[in-house]
Structure 1
Amino acid sequence: WRTLQAAERSPAGAPSLTVGEVDAALTALAALAGPGSGTARLELVGDLLGRATEAEARFVARLLGGELRQGANAGVMTDAVARAAGVPAATVRRAVMLGGRLDVVARLALTEGRAALEAQSLEVGRPLQPMLASTAASVAEAVADLGTAAVEWKLDGIRIQVHRDGD
């Protein structure tokens, strides 16, 4: 937030930013680390916002601040990736659950296809997406649908994942 506030610039009069330029700036921003990275981050964000129109700057600031509300939720994007890659949506959803990030899975789907998505597996240190329960009309119906299953109480609070490699 502090960087975004400090990087505010007067908006550009006419649109000139491209998606590629914004992507390159965000990639460079993500790579910054170590001594002097705060100053470099401020300069990079300031340059980007300085070349943006008011509407573009608002979009970029919300994107960087995690407050972007642009109307496309993960489910819609997952279905769009499946359609664009010509693979079943269930295959994309499984790969996202195991792979953790839709952008990475989308790249795999579009460049390497269904086999690459099906090859996604558990990896220590890579978080799993939460698996939400499906509803059933009754316990008997749920058991009939699932067969043998492990269940646990749902308690309010936080959800954590423990990743363990070996004993």
Structure 2
Amino acid sequence: MTETVILAIIGGVVTILTAIIGKLSIDVGRTKKDAKSAAADAKEARIQVKNSHDTNLREEGDERHAEIVETLKSVVRDVQGIRDDNQATRRDIGILHGAIRGVVRDITGLRETDAQARSELAAAVTERNEQLGRIRLDIPKLIRQECQRKSH
């Protein structure tokens, strides 16, 4: 295999890793969005506590608390999902490392086989050239012999 093939393989690995990192980035963005939503809910509760209002503060606090708990549960699920994705990504990277090591071994074997084949081919070419050289030397003698045979 050539360096171009190796570079293509490495390029493919980089593309896969970029896609995985992009997915992780999206998941982190979702988690940030949920955290901002929880912060907005807390801000709204603060405004209600400071201002005069007609609703029972305890009931409103309990409702907000339940919403925040649900949001936090969602954030915890998202974080666990990111952790699971990260673990799967690490496994995938380990598999890719193993595959790359196998490709490198294959390339090394092909280079050795190619070097041996080149050596054998060079020896065969040398032998053929030597045979042709001997034949060239024999041609004039064979022509003379044939001419003498025809003239008799």
Report the TM-score range of the alignment, normalised by the length of the smaller protein: under 0.3
> Structure 2-normalised TM-score?
0.21
Report which of the two has the higher share of helix.
Answer: 2
